[in-house]
Structure 1
Amino acid sequence: MDDNAKAPARTTLRTIEVDLPVNAVWHIWLKAMVPGIQGALAFSNANGKFGEVIASNAEEYSFRIYHVFGGGPVEISYDTDTTSVSVAYWFTAQEVLETGIAVVHTNPANAPPDLPECYHFRPPFGWMNDPNGFGRFGGRPHLFYQHYSHGLRWNNMHWGHAVSSDYLRWRHLPIFLFPSEDLTARPDRRGGAFSGSAIALPNAPGIRVFFTEKVQDRAPEQEVQMTATSSDLFSAGQAEVILPSRPEGEGLTFDFRDPYVFKGPDGHWKMLLGSQSAEGGVILLYETQDVTAAGGWTYLGKLLVKKRHSTTAIECPCMLPLDGVLTDPATRWVLIYGLMNSVDATTGRRNLTMAEVGWFDGRNFSREFIQELDFGTDNYAFQAFLDGDAPVGMGWLANWADASPTIDFPTAMTLPRTLKLGGNGLLTPPIGAAESLRGHILDRTRLAVGQRVSFPHGAVEILFELKEPGTPFELKFDHPNVDLSVVQEEAGLSIRHRAGDGPSPNFIAPGAKVRRLRIFLDYGSIEVFADRGRFVGTKRIAGFEPVSAARFAAGAENVAHATVWSLRL
């Protein structure tokens, strides 16, 4: 070998170049690739290396914060032989609510799907499930959510965070809550910061969040209730325990979670929690007279007990007034909750979500009627709040019947919905701002006469009206992997979704006889809103191949008119 020849350039050094403003804050997750050899990520500029973050753990990614006070071109670099980086993003504290975070690195294990024109909320990386802390704070809607950063499978839980101006177009913010320190050492699915809610601080700018901390096999309580505050609306302070144990004498299982805090008709803060007893799934009611809701929580009793559909625990309860001010005894309230592990024996659908409408006096709930929130069942962990005088909510666009902790499963949130009374039931139509998603009209004539209408991509809205309510039809969709259609027949309105040769549940609203339908298609989902939200069906479509076309396979002669829009954010 020629002594003057240069050694080959190293191929294991990964470098990312970024042009930074002054006072940038980096959030980085890295781990060692070889036990006993530290992983490291270096910061450099034109003057050379000026900083470094390191990690010794070879089992799970370690979280590191680094401040770059000077602006300009900066390189971050690491040796892939010794270091793995899961996520790297930066932001400036002064502008993050306006600009969001700048994600500069993910890896194939946690990267989001590339879905042009997708309009449903998805995390910038990693796994997502239940919406948490949904509310308006500092003048803007905020969404927190169950999150794991380092893969597309459920694991030890964090809270992700995003902010919007219209519930549709979101800016991603820094991770808000983290698992306790003893859960961050390895990805063993033992717990973390589970679901909860948020309220505005009553006497100062900011947010107070409530959440369940879970640690598997912890004694005597696996699940305890925590609170934390944020004055800057994007970073949480130290969390404190507010309910260290389940109420005694109620025969409850270890299930004790998902605190939903709201103002009651008597002016006091109330808290709902989901649990289970020998009687069935349970919703527990707590109260505090502390105007800050920081403590003083006392147990009032069981608000609801459900045995229906072989339910185990009740999850993600929420409650809010529907048709009047909360102090008026005549105002009707809606109580929404998930039936964990429930099975509808007639249809085969699992993990149903129920909505009960009635009256709430601060201690007792008197039911007027009950209905399913969603006949498609992929609108789970639904959380709503009162935005001024308008209830707004959204759910996880998935279902634990399909989403397994053992498979990669990048998911989305449903379209946000309003809640109102009408049509002899609870209506949950999409928010009015959903019309702003409409781009250009794809069709106004062909679909209505039975012709096939092709779609340029997976994001489409179809609006059509039948000549008479309840008239039978089948709207058939072209999808490469799934047999998909929306059908109305004597038995009711249904979404037919069959992937593969196995049996499929019957996703049906029994007895529904509708006239007007609004259908939203996106990559991996279909949402059906019938008769202005009286019957709603949300279904995740397996995979991310788009629906490419639609036609009326039957009943086109009964369609009064139909319009198809291309959608985009």
Structure 2
Amino acid sequence: MPTYQQAAALVQSAGTDYSKESYRPQFHYSPPAMWLNDPNGMVYFEGEYHLMYQHHPESTVWGPMHWGHAVSKDLVAWETLPVAMSPDHNGAIFSGCAVVDWKDTSGFFDGGSGLVAIFTHADIYPDSDRPRQRQSLAYSKDKGRSWTFYTGNPVLSDTGITDFRDPKVFWMEEAGVWVMVLACGDHIRFYRSANLKDWDFASEFGKSDGSHYGVWECPDLFELPIDGSNRKKWVLIVSIGDNPDYPEGSKTQYYIGSFDGWKFVNENAPDTVLWLDEGRDNYAAVSWSDIPEEDGRRVIIGWMSNWRYANQTPTASWRGAATLPRVLSLTSRNGSVALTQMPVQEIERLREESFSWNGVAVTPEVPFIHKTNNDLLEIEANIDIRSGDEVHIQLKSSGQSETIIGYDPVREWLFIDRSKSGLTDFNPSFACKHGARVAPENGSIKLRIWLDRSAVEVFAGEGLVALTDQIFPDNPIDSVWISTESGRAELNSLHIHTLNSIYKPGNSTEQVSRRVNV
């Protein structure tokens, strides 16, 4: 296996065309080479969105963690920068966050402002095989191009807790303090600091709330308005690690409640479980810090994989990708408040050609068929399902692969079936059919679907339900079929947009005629 530097040199010397790689996502971020998992250190500063991530630069499987680094001006096109942070005498660089220290509360910036990363240093307790996880700081005075470890690291530790990691920090203006949200095995702990260096315990949450089928990881906490009003709620996000006894593998849940700077209070019953994404491949999702107030969005991104099979997915020179960036909102539905999510509008800039239809009836004998020579698609579908028959949107390749996005009106169930989606035998859990309840509105369902070379993201009900799945077709997907199992359904409206690759210079419309599996 080449080193990171050798791999980078090889890519540069070979002039690798990412648009020709069989499973390389074309509008989702992926590392040029080697391993990626959790998003880290996402922060907006001086016109750039920073996306850092768990990265093993020596292998395509998980290993000694570094922070990889990419930046974007529009959340669409990404420039990969050199590795931001590498392991030092305190250990590997596990997950964490980054903030803008506008007021120089840390004293790192000589009265100015700059970026501070708060992350978990991971090693082993001396003379032991017990993992040790402690929180540390690094700072950057040059827009994230170089990082300096704080000489006082670590700044927070607890010898009584083994899983003690993944800090998410934000400035709470009304309290005049930094708040840290930390994953601690089976619960969340909150800490407070005036300077990012000295932390005091505030409270804990969650030992009896929500799902506990795996270790808790990668928390986030933020406030959102409800339906754009002045009424607000706090949202706490918690990811859950893989448990062999549960078919879903790793997954992410959320809570809605209140937070006063000290304590989070869940407004739902403790046994209520709210899933961020009902697909198999959206994990460790956290949001960007310091997006300008005039923008007003809370934007989140996740790791598009699952610990059940993350080290086994069938890519060669790289492994792991990020979901599309998504805008989070709160909405009132049926007397309760729910989280909604939709990809950022900037993604629409990738649209190339658009095709539209209205009032099309489909049956098993007369399906709707759209052929395409572009396997990058955005689909908007409004489907009348009052006939009570199951509707299928089939994404088919010229080979034997097909991924089905279906809706069962009787069960009010939206699903993805990837059992015949292409390469699935690398792990017995991958070939599956799974979904979530989606209630129709006025006898119809509305879907937004993004299809990339090795991923499909489905959003229903204006983002009330999301399903994110990896797929590995045997050949490029070249047709969209819509039909019913029996009876008929009507496509009230259907829009199919072909998308440009972010890797084509100037978003050229040149089609790729041959791909290689790398």
TM-score bin (small chain): 0.7 to 0.9
Aligned with 2:72 (options 140, 143, 164): 164
Cα distance in 1, alignment partners of residues 381 and 347 from structure 2 = 16
Aligned to 1:402: 309
Aligned to 1:194: 94
Aligned with 1:130 (options 10, 20, 38): 38
Residues 311 and 115 (structure 1), Cα distance of their counterparts in 2 relative to 1, 3 Å cut: closer
Aligned to 1:282: 187
> 1:501-516 counterparts in 2 under 5 A?
504-510=431-437, 512-513=439-440, 515-516=445-446
| Counterpart amino acid of residue 395 in structure 2 | F
**TM-score, normalised by the number of residues in structure 1:** 0.72
Cα distance in 2, alignment partners of residues 86 and 486 from structure 1 = 37
In structure 1, the gaps of 5 or more residues are 1-58, 64-84, 90-102, 183-190
| 1:244 CA drift (Å) | 4.7
> 1:118-517 counterparts in 2 under 5 A?
118-180=26-88, 192-202=92-102, 203=104, 204-216=112-124, 218=126, 222-233=132-143, 234-240=145-151, 241-246=153-158, 248=160, 252=161, 254-264=162-172, 265-276=174-185, 281-290=186-195, 293=196, 295-306=197-208, 309-323=211-225, 331-342=232-243, 348-369=247-268, 371-385=274-288, 387=291, 388=293, 389-404=296-311, 410-422=319-331, 424=333, 425-442=338-355, 444=357, 449=362, 450-467=367-384, 472-479=390-397, 480=399, 482-489=401-408, 490-491=410-411, 492-499=413-420, 504-510=431-437, 512-513=439-440, 515-517=445-447
| 1:385 CA drift (Å) | 3.2
| 1:260 CA drift (Å) | 0.6
SS in 2 for 1:402: coil
Residues 477 and 567 (structure 1), Cα distance of their counterparts in 2 relative to 1, 3 Å cut: same
| Counterpart amino acid of residue 301 in structure 1 | S
Residues 343 and 323 (structure 1), Cα distance of their counterparts in 2 relative to 1, 3 Å cut: farther
Cα distance in 1, alignment partners of residues 497 and 63 from structure 2 = 38
Residues 117 and 525 (structure 1), Cα distance of their counterparts in 2 relative to 1, 3 Å cut: closer
1:535 equivalent to 2:437? Answer no
Q: For the Cα contact (< 8 Å) 1:521–1:547, is it kept in 2?
A: no
Aligned to 2:499: 567
Cα distance in 2, alignment partners of residues 455 and 406 from structure 1 = 26
- Larger gyration radius, structure 1 or structure 2: 1
Q: For the Cα contact (< 8 Å) 1:321–1:334, is it kept in 2?
A: yes
Cα distance in 1, alignment partners of residues 198 and 122 from structure 2 = 21
Q: For the Cα contact (< 8 Å) 1:310–1:341, is it kept in 2?
A: no
More displaced, 281-290 or 403-412? 403-412
Give % identity: 28
Residues 423 and 431 (structure 1), Cα distance of their counterparts in 2 relative to 1, 3 Å cut: farther
Cα distance in 2, alignment partners of residues 556 and 376 from structure 1 = 27
| 1:114 CA drift (Å) | 6.0
SS in 2 for 1:87: helix
Provide, for residues 404-423 of structure 1, a one-character-per-residue CA deviation record: whole Å limited to 9, x for no partner.
Answer: 27975622111100010125
User: With CA pairs under 8 Å and 6+ residues apart, which has the higher RCO, 1 or 2?
Assistant: 2
SS in 2 for 1:428: strand
Cα distance in 1, alignment partners of residues 206 and 31 from structure 2 = 33
| Counterpart amino acid of residue 92 in structure 2 | G
| Counterpart amino acid of residue 344 in structure 2 | I
| Counterpart amino acid of residue 236 in structure 1 | W
Residues 112 and 296 (structure 1), Cα distance of their counterparts in 2 relative to 1, 3 Å cut: farther
SS in 2 for 1:548: strand
| 1:557 CA drift (Å) | 2.6
| 1:180 CA drift (Å) | 1.9
Q: For the Cα contact (< 8 Å) 2:101–2:113, is it kept in 1?
A: yes
| 1:481 CA drift (Å) | 5.8
**TM-score, normalised by the number of residues in structure 2:** 0.79
Provide, for residues 322-373 of structure 1, a one-character-per-residue CA deviation record: whole Å limited to 9, x for no partner.
Answer: 118xxx9x6311111111124785xx21212101111111121122345210
Residues 129 and 306 (structure 1), Cα distance of their counterparts in 2 relative to 1, 3 Å cut: farther
Q: For the Cα contact (< 8 Å) 2:93–2:121, is it kept in 1?
A: yes
Q: For the Cα contact (< 8 Å) 2:387–2:489, is it kept in 1?
A: no
Aligned to 1:188: none
Cα distance in 1, alignment partners of residues 322 and 25 from structure 2 = 15
Aligned with 2:489 (options 557, 562, 568): 557
Residues 513 and 242 (structure 1), Cα distance of their counterparts in 2 relative to 1, 3 Å cut: farther
Q: For the Cα contact (< 8 Å) 1:141–1:166, is it kept in 2?
A: yes
Provide, for residues 226-279 of structure 1, a one-character-per-residue CA deviation record: whole Å limited to 9, x for no partner.
Answer: 11000102110124424352265xxx3x21111111123523111111122xxx
More displaced, 113-122 or 441-450? 441-450
Cα distance in 2, alignment partners of residues 429 and 556 from structure 1 = 29
Aligned to 1:519: 449
Cα distance in 1, alignment partners of residues 63 and 35 from structure 2 = 8
| Counterpart amino acid of residue 195 in structure 1 | S
Residues 61 and 438 (structure 1), Cα distance of their counterparts in 2 relative to 1, 3 Å cut: closer
Q: For the Cα contact (< 8 Å) 2:135–2:156, is it kept in 1?
A: yes
